[in-house]
Amino acid sequence: MVSAVQLIRSSSLSSVAEYAYAATAPAAARRVFLAGSCPLDADGRTVAVGDHAGQAAACVANLRQALADAGATLDDVVSTRVLVASTRQADLVAAWEVVRDTFGEHDVPSTLMGVTVLGYDDQLVEIEAVAAVLD
C-alpha cells in the first residue's frame, strides 16, 4: 500500500535532527488525529513505572493499536509529539530513542518536550500523533 505521507528533508537546515523537518499529505487523504497514547495496560494501570524507555515502548504499542483501529499504520503517521515528565534531558532522550527506533526510516517530524506532569498516576511518557490514509 502506498503511503499518503511525503517526508520533506531540508538541505538548508542542520542534519543533526533525527527526523524529517516537514511532511505533507494530499487533500484527498483521510486524516486520523490520535489522542495522546499513554503507557496503560488493558485494565488502565500504568506500566513500566519509573522507566522512561519502558513507558515509551508501551505508548508506541498502544499507538500502533489505535492506528490499526483507525485503519492506519505507523507508515501513515504525519507527525508526533512526545511528552516526557522530567526536567532531565537524559530521560527525554531515553524515551525519544524508543520512538525514533520504532519509526526507523519513516522519521516523521516530531517535537520532544519535557513537561511537569502527565495525567495518570506514575505516567512519565505520552505520544500524540496525526496520520493520513489514502482509502
Task: Give the pLDDT of the chain (135 residues) as one tens digit per residue.
Answer: 568 999 998 888 888 888 899 999 999 999 999 999 999 999 999 999 999 999 999 999 999 999 999 999 999 999 999 999 999 999 999 999 999 999 999 999 999 999 999 999 999 999 999 999 998
* Res 15: pLDDT: 82
As a whole number of angstroms, the distance between CA 85 and CA 9 comes to 29
Reading the block at residue 67, the C-alpha cell is 492506528
As a whole number of angstroms, the distance between CA 10 and CA 14 comes to 8
* Res 2: pLDDT: 67
* Res 113: pLDDT: 98
- Nearest CA-CA partner of 62 in 81, 34, 84: 34
Determine the distance from the C-alpha atom of residue 17 to the mean position of all C-alpha atoms in its chain, rounded to a whole number.
15
As a whole number of angstroms, the distance between CA 24 and CA 27 comes to 9
pTM as predicted = 0.94
* Res 70: pLDDT: 97
Contact (Cβ atoms closer than 8 angstroms) between residue 6 and residue 29: no
Contact (Cβ atoms closer than 8 angstroms) between residue 66 and residue 34: yes
Contact (Cβ atoms closer than 8 angstroms) between residue 92 and residue 84: yes
